[in-house]
Amino acid sequence: MAQLIGGLGTSHIPAIGSAIHKGLQQDPYWKPFFDGFPPIQAWLKEKKPDVLVLFYNDHGLNFFLDKMPTFAVGAAPEYHNADEGWGIPTLPPFKGDLDLSWHIINTLVEKEFDIVTCQEMLVDHACSLPLKLFWPEGDCPVTVVPICINTVQFPLPKPGRVYAMGKAVGEAIQSWDSSKKVAVLASGGLSHQLDGERAGFINKAFDLQFLDSLESNPEWATQFSVHELVEKTGTQGVELLMWLAMRGALASGGGSKVRRVTGNYHIPISNTATAALVLEVA
């Protein structure tokens, strides 16, 4: 069976791509953010995952306001980056893992999650930036399975539903008939709001409590409704649902013990609270 080795998390602000392209990693504005990644890169170099299951939110590339699935799973042989023009000009396609994709899809449907299956899927900065942050040199060395979660248009999935979906994905990974090592990734910002009366809103205290809960109390955030999360984290802060799905995957198979390998929290980058995290399965 496949081995689920751990979970990663990072923010995915489009301007990060521009900073990478311009070589601004040591610029005083960017350095506190980029300083969080060498320990993650070292962990990945040691553990050498073969596949990355990536929880992210689409920004109007595949799905727009007229068609917005709650959960969508990629089942493509490769995923082309269609950057919105903010960041890295060219990136080669990311290779998919069709066998794991279909195993996850079949498992989710069996467990009564109504999902959209995407045999063609473009990816934006929410997928490309984490992969470039984790593997800054050369092509991405892992195959990927992208899983999109709606955080754009109401109705949004309840935190408890997202956690349960992540748990089902983790069970699928661990029942996959393969000798490969798999990691799960959460791509999304923590508290931030980009528009409206609360534009610029950041809730550091909630962010830090949420990050702590991912290690010690994984279901803590499921006590809140979606509207409560929006109130506490901002309109776009509900992207933390990706982090909850990642943690759910690590809690699959009756186990929930993880070890925090490294983490980083920094505010603000582009009016957004940013974080990076590695949780290793105990």
Q: What is each CA distance from 51 to 99, 133, 186, in whole angstroms?
A: 11, 16, 14
Instruction: For the beta carbon of residue 156, count every other beta carbon within 10 angstroms.
Output: 21
- Cα four-point dihedral sign 170, 171, 174, 178: negative
125 classed as catalytic: yes
Measure the CA–CA gap between 169 and 114, rounded to whole angstroms: 13
21 classed as catalytic: no
Residue 96 · residue 109 · CB < 8 Å: no
Active-site residue, from 12, 103, 125, 266: 125
Measure the CA–CA gap between 280 and 277, rounded to whole angstroms: 10
Residue whose token pair is 């920004």: 59
183 bridge partner residues: 6, 52
Measure the CA–CA gap between 188 and 9, rounded to whole angstroms: 8
Q: What is each CA distance from 251 to 39, 171, 218, 230, 279, in whole angstroms?
A: 23, 9, 8, 25, 11
| Beta carbons within 8 Å of 144's beta carbon, 6+ residues apart | 51, 52, 53, 54, 74, 79, 94, 95, 96, 97, 127, 131
Q: What are the strands, taking DSSP E only, across the chain?
A: 3-10, 51-56, 71-74, 78-79, 94-95, 116-118, 143-149, 181-187, 258-269, 272-281
Active-site residue, from 12, 103, 192, 266: 192
Measure the CA–CA gap between 123 and 87, rounded to whole angstroms: 13
- Known catalytic residues are 125, 192
